[in-house]
Amino acid sequence: MTGNAFIISHSLMIDETYVAGLREALGEFRPRAVLILDEAHHAAPASGARYAIDSQFTKAIRDLASRFEHRLFLSATPHNGHSNSFSALLEMLDPQRFTRGVPAKPKDLEQIMVRRLKSDLRRIDARTFPLRRVEPITIDGLDANAPELVLAEMLSDYRALREKRISRMGARKAAQARIVFAGLQHRLLSSAAAFASTLTKHKQTLERQLTGDLTDPLPLALPTDGEDTAEFLLDEDEAADELIAYDDRTLETAAAATAPEPGREMAEELDAVQEMLALAVEASRGADARVRWILNWIGKEFAPAGIWSNRRLLIFTEWETTRRWLERRLKEGIASTEDAENRIEVFSGA
């Protein structure tokens, strides 16, 4: 490859601090420049409505894509089930051939779309592309008082508590309020540390709402179609994976959008959040059952009899907070082994 190559995360594409310099470097149009967009389906509007409100990421890609002479979009799921959303994505890729709101013709798609399954690649060279096996790992025998189980129950109870208030809102505000809960669910599934991080922001928001210090929230561009709300949440959360602070602000803004009158229900919610936060913080100070399983497996597969082999293990995390927490727990777990300080390397896009 000749020339300069830059790798930019999705979340940075909506951060003006980074994008302003990129626009300046590209100018209005950069000949011979190539944009390669991975997970391109996130750039498609989440709603199927013809004139749906674009997300920040959609707007960012539309603006930047037009500045490149060549564009390559990569996606395993380019079509989200809505033809208008798909045509909007195609328009960003090739505005000469496709128009938003106009269904794409099969003959036009054939000229710009290459479909390849992993099985197709393995037929070409099975050695280069080994067979992937997905094997679920079941962890049995957890104590009923295990923090991860207790927190899940507490969060479920908290959802029921919030729904009392959310159910009285209009559809749009209710969707905004539920973003908070969806984010908390995702974080708890990731780690107690990630859960505690987001829960802290949520607690601060509730406290400001109770004191009346948070009354003018920023508007959120949400689809009005209830069916598309879940898809929107996934897209927004995935776009913020690498900038945890950005995601926390998104959740905080969504919480503010409920704009309730301070009262007994809000106080009950705050009490529930404080209880969850105390347990999450305590749980984040140690390894959970999943980390203990990983450490045990590493000992058997990578360091039998205390002697490290040359095998390598790759672990991917959804959130930067989880990545830092997991790194710390793994280092603690192998601390007594040979050359432990050099056994773990980290690559982070945050």
Greatest alpha-carbon span in the chain: 65
| Residue 246 near residue 240 (C-beta atoms within 8 A) | yes
pLDDT at 255: 53
Q: Give the per-residue pLDDT at 83.
A: 87
pLDDT at 3: 66
Task: Of 306, 315, 290, 296, give the one whose Cα is nearest residue 339.
Answer: 306
What is the distance between the alpha carbons of residues 165 and 174, in angstroms, rounded to a whole number?
9
Q: Rounded to the nearest 5 degrees, what angle is found at the Cα of 245, between the Cα atoms of 241 and 247?
A: 50
Per-residue model confidence (pLDDT) at position 24:
93
Spatial contact of 285 and 211, defined as CB atoms under 8 Å apart: no
Reference 191, options 286, 296, 315, 313; nearest CA is 286
User: Hey, where are the domains in the chain?
Assistant: 11-124, 147-283, 289-342
pLDDT tens by residue, 193-207: 999 998 998 888 888
Phi, psi of 53 (to 5 degrees): -70, 130
Looking at the DSSP bridge assignments, the partners of residue 72 are 36
pLDDT at 87: 93
Give the residue ranges of the chain where pLDDT is below 70: 1-3, 47-53, 176, 213-262, 349-350
DSSP state string for 12-75: GGG-HHHHHHHHHHH-S-EEEEEEEETTGGGGS-SS-STTPPPPHHHHHHHHHHTTEEEEEE--
Helix, strand, coil share of the chain (percent; to 5): 55, 5, 40
Q: CB–CB of 92/43 below 8 Å?
A: yes
At residue 103, what is the residue type?
A: P
**Alpha helices per DSSP H over 102-243:** 106-112, 118-124, 147-166, 171-190, 192-211, 226-239
